[in-house]
Amino acid sequence: MFISIVMPVHNREHTIGRAIESILNQTHASFELIIVDDASTDGTRNVVRFYDDKRIRYIAHAEKLGAPAARNTGIREAQAEWIAFHDSDDIWMPDKLEKQINRVLQNGLEHAVYYTGFYRFKHGKCEYIPEPDLRRKEGDIHRELLVKNFVSTQTVLLPKACLDAVGGFDEEMPRLQDWELWIRLSERYPFCLVDEPLVHVFYSDNSISASQENLIRAYRLILQKHGHLFREAGRSYFASLLFSYGHNLCLHGDMRLGRTTLYQSLRSQIGLKSIAALIVSFFGKRLYRYLHLKWVR
């Protein structure tokens, strides 16, 4: 099976080498690696040029368009019928593709999304995702994905036709673009899991995922685009989305809109987290952030 691997990159000269090597070391060798450089200003291009492998294709954006646009560029340029994604910060295990392809051949489902488990390294902690207690990890997991995202982009292998059918990544999303895409895909297609840690994901404080403002904008877009799906799924799903939005508004310091959103979450369904967050929000953003950090750690 020939696979197109899409890797967006922006200013990752210190990590992209190990990411590329983890792809070149795959036991399944029939692939092309499309590296889409989103207007890097460091030595990323020189690192890519170091790898003399005909399977690597390098495409450079003239201006920074963002990770969703870079991935869409790679999808458009892909020559294979199957697409995989990797990130320039992270590492694949050598048999990642091989085990996914075996699952495709065993299932015989050509229109499905295949993903793997992964280790996430963040702030000195290692966590395996998806969690063992997740109710449903395979098949129709649309409602599970409405609760939270447990599918990382670097773990996914799927037919290009599925991406074309739903329109690829939403380039307006400043964050959560993978979750937003899985929500659309899971309305149409089943998901299949290789439940092993075949990817190592490293959280970076200077990555796009570190921006609180971008996260708030992303939640606002999720509400605008897919709020009806959360409402249709049930009161608890919509309440959970509103809590996440309101909580992050408070973390960002917009206490008034944050409280309003947390109150809306409570009106949809009473929840202890929403009650606690709403109460703490009246004591100001400094205490809110402090208690959040204490809870997380």
pLDDT tops 50 at residue 101: yes
Domain at 3-207: CATH architecture: Alpha-Beta Complex (3.90)
pLDDT tens-place string over residues 135-190: 899 999 999 999 999 999 999 999 999 999 999 999 999 999 999 999 999 999 99
Structure tokens at 139: 């098949």
Q: Give the span between the Cα atoms of 285 and 246, in whole angstroms.
A: 13
Question: Cβ(21)–Cβ(15) under 8 Å?
Answer: no
pLDDT tops 50 at residue 208: no
DSSP per-residue letters across 152-171: -GGG-EEEHHHHHHHTS--T
**What are the Cα distances from residue 290, in Å, to 254, 287, 294?**
15, 5, 6
Residue type, 282: F
Q: Look up residue 128 and give its DSSP letter.
A: E
pLDDT tens-place string over residues 45-98: 999 999 999 999 999 999 999 999 999 999 999 999 999 999 999 999 999 999
Q: What is the pLDDT of residue 225?
A: 97
Question: Cβ(194)–Cβ(103) under 8 Å?
Answer: yes
Q: Give the span between the Cα atoms of 217 and 50, in whole angstroms.
A: 38
Q: What is the pLDDT of residue 110?
A: 87
Structure tokens at 189: 């297609």
Structure tokens at 63: 């201006």
pLDDT tops 80 at residue 267: yes
> How much is the pTM?
0.94
Closest by CA position to 15, among listed 200, 179, 177: 200
pLDDT tens-place string over residues 218-253: 999 999 999 999 999 999 999 999 999 999 999 999
Per domain, the residue ranges of the chain are 3-207, 211-296
Structure tokens at 175: 């964050």
Q: Which helix (H) or strand (E) holds 293?
A: helix 285-296
